[in-house]
Structure 1
Amino acid sequence: MRIRPTSARGGLPPAAASAESPAALSGPDGRRLPASPRRRRPDLAALAVLLILGGTAATITLMLNGSARVSAIRITRQVTAGQPLSRAGMEEVRIAGTGIDYLPWSQHASYAQRLALVTLLPGTLLTTQMTATASEGITPGKARVGLALKPGQSPAELRAGQRVQIISLPRQDPGDRTTTVLAQSALVDAVSDPGTHGPPRLVNVIVDAALSPRIAAYASNGQIVLAYLPAAH
């Protein structure tokens, strides 16, 4: 029976001791330290997902808000009730859609000669309820009076939508030179202009109903003159 020799210290055989000694490990495997298992961070992954979703939602909100903006008409000059609007007194403004029927800027040309039903201050956003055409200007308490005017009894460039004073001419009596303002501010509703030397010019005016009988009486005698009142700005 053979007995395997042992090391001088009574341990493993020299070959086994040499195989398990640190000196026996060579190359990369001999220099690599044991790697610790990588720890997962599920909380950071969830936070990243929330940030992505939040950014996407914010982008969609901005896009929707931007697409909901509309172009409206804003008044830049004061227009008193009954006076016509003007293109020079309007400007385009972009506003968020609110459901109110603000007039779109694309219609500003057609509203430039409409009449203001109420006094419009600078900064007012125009709506359909704030304006009317000349034919819509007659309301309860008002009356439409037709005038047949000779050349010289009305301004040459008179047109519908303007405001005029209605003045009575003196009577045929040479001693009577009295003139009277019959209506301080009457709205011209319609004008028929046949020419300077043609038939009388036919003009419809809207006045207070209480003034209409007197104006009609003077008009039937040809004793009416219209004086143009410039629009307030």
Structure 2
Amino acid sequence: MGDRLPAPPRERKPALAALAALLVLAGALGATMLVMQAGDRIEAIKITERVPMGGVIPESAMTSVLVADDSSVNYVRWEQRGQLKEELRAATDLVGGTILVGEMLTGEETLPDDEVIVGVSLQPGQFPAGLKAGDTVAAYWVGRERNSGDEETSTQQTVITEEAHVSVVHGGGDSIGNTSLPVTLRVARADAAALTRAASAGEVSLVIIPAAK
């Protein structure tokens, strides 16, 4: 009555045991490699917004990112960012998400012969909110015509230039109260005189031209 049936012997599976050991070993090696690679990383600069060719790269358009150290790639390190504002400009159009390398920068003027840099000071209402470096804009003269008696007649809106490129926005693109917003534009040389005259009179308005899809 008290006798028990003998239990069947356990089947040993040496192949599965060996596979499990290999998986554990592979996981340990992988973790070790990640730690070693993390030690070979450097802090580089990533561009977060578009910067036009010839423009100074503002600090607001930079963020730090860890990349694998590679002697064949001339990364611009995060600690070098101060030089960008003081000495260097974009040698080509930079787009958001770009990891910055030395070949993308220049210390020389990069403007074509038919373009010039013009500064304008805009009042609230003369520029769209969120205006930023890299935007393409049209510039309008928004003055009032005067008759021969020097009396104002009608308001005029004349296109000064159909295409200008914003190089720098001093202040982030928004104006508080009655504070003016200085903006640096890259424009065709032929439009510079008219734009400068209108800007000196405070009669310039900018309109952002949406990028072509």
Q: TM-score, length-normalised on structure 1?
A: 0.45
Which protein is bigger by CA-based radius of gyration? Answer: 1
